[in-house]
């Protein structure tokens, strides 16, 4: 408990101090509200439109969550297949790396053409950005299995599947967790980018749409609120993944020790 507080308190204090400084700065310099609203003004605006904002947050969270899960499953599966074949690895991995270089914003319109406006396009957008870190980190982990342990499994006459399931995958867990943590943050970014291009207005408009609509209406306070909420979605997803990673590694891996 003491350890957790020691880790959690400093950033919380820093955040509060920054918010207070922001509030005071707005009180002193009095910028126009559409340029820079103060934290309290943002809070009040968010409170007024709380129903719509919650709906939007839920919609974005669902899309980011689904995109993340798809990226995790596809990334780990592809990495596992690639790890079993040097031939496939040579043929496919460079292409996967190149594919990673294509800017998401540039292909987002394609996703709208293929998936139409709405949830499937934003989920696809989230999955596409999040899949590569999972793939790359998992493949790295699978390939860096201790050769001495590989030899042990060879002596025990383990087949390829058993070696993957009982040796390579567990030994790659730290890398997989790293990949998933990066993917969690990226999934939210992918979702909001997707929403900018393919989002839908109306009752259940997602956060990306709230940002766009509020910008057009010069409601900077609501832009800030939506930005903060999308960051919160990312934070929760990242936190959940980190916690699950910690659970699976805490018994044996050095990375789980709090220093």
Applying CB under 8 A, which residues contact other proteins?
A: 148-149, 151-158, 162, 166-167, 170-171, 173, 251-254
Q: Specify the residue, 118 or 170, whose C-beta has the smaller distance to other proteins.
A: 170
Helix (H, G, I), strand (E, B) or coil at 90: helix
CB of 175 to other proteins, least distance (A): 13
CB 133 within 8 A of CB 190: no
User: Smaller CB distance to other proteins: residue 103 or 147?
Assistant: 147
Dig out the tokens for 205 from the structure. Answer: 């408009």
Q: What is the smallest separation between the CB atom of 69 and other proteins, expressed in angstroms?
A: 24
DSSP state of 49: T
Find the shortest distance in angstroms from Cβ 251 to other proteins.
5
d(CA 61, CA 230): 8
Token readout for 232 is 């919160």
Q: What angle do the packed helices 50-83 and 39-48 form, to 10 degrees?
A: 100
- Closest distance of CB 249 from other proteins, Å: 8
Pair 62, 249: CB distance under 8 Å? no
CB of 259 to other proteins, least distance (A): 16
- In the complex with other proteins, the residue whose CB is nearer, 153 or 196, is 153
Residues in contact with 156: Cβ distance below 8 Å, sequence separation at least 6, in sequence order: none
Closer Cβ to other proteins, 149 or 231, answer by number:
149
């Amino acid at each position: 408990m003491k350890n957790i507080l020691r880790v959690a308190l400093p950033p919380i204090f820093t955040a509060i101090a920054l918010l207070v400084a922001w509030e005071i700065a707005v009180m002193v310099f009095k910028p126009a509200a559409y340029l820079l609203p103060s934290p309290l003004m943002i809070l009040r605006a968010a409170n007024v439109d709380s129903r719509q904002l919650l709906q939007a947050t839920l919609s974005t969270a669902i899309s980011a969550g689904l995109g993340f899960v798809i990226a995790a499953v596809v990334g780990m599966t592809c990495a596992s297949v690639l790890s079993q074949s040097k031939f496939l690895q040579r043929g496919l991995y460079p292409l996967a790396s190149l594919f990673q270089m294509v800017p998401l914003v540039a292909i987002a319109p394609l996703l709208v053409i293929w998936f139409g406006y709405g949830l499937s396009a934003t989920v696809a957008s989230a999955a596409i950005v999040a899949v590569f870190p999972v793939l790359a980190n998992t493949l790295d982990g699978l390939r860096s299995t201790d050769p001495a342990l590989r030899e042990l499994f060879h002596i025990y006459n383990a087949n390829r599947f058993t070696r993957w399931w009982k040796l390579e995958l567990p030994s790659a867990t730290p890398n997989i967790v790293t990949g998933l943590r990066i993917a969690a943050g990226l999934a939210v970014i992918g979702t909001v980018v997707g929403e900018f291009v393919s989002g839908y207005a109306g009752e259940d408009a997602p956060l990306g749409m709230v940002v766009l609509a509020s910008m057009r209406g010069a409601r900077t306070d609501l832009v800030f609120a939506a930005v903060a909420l999308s960051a919160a979605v990312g934070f929760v997803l990242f936190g959940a993944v980190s916690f699950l990673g910690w659970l699976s590694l805490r018994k044996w891996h050095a990375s789980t020790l709090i220093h």
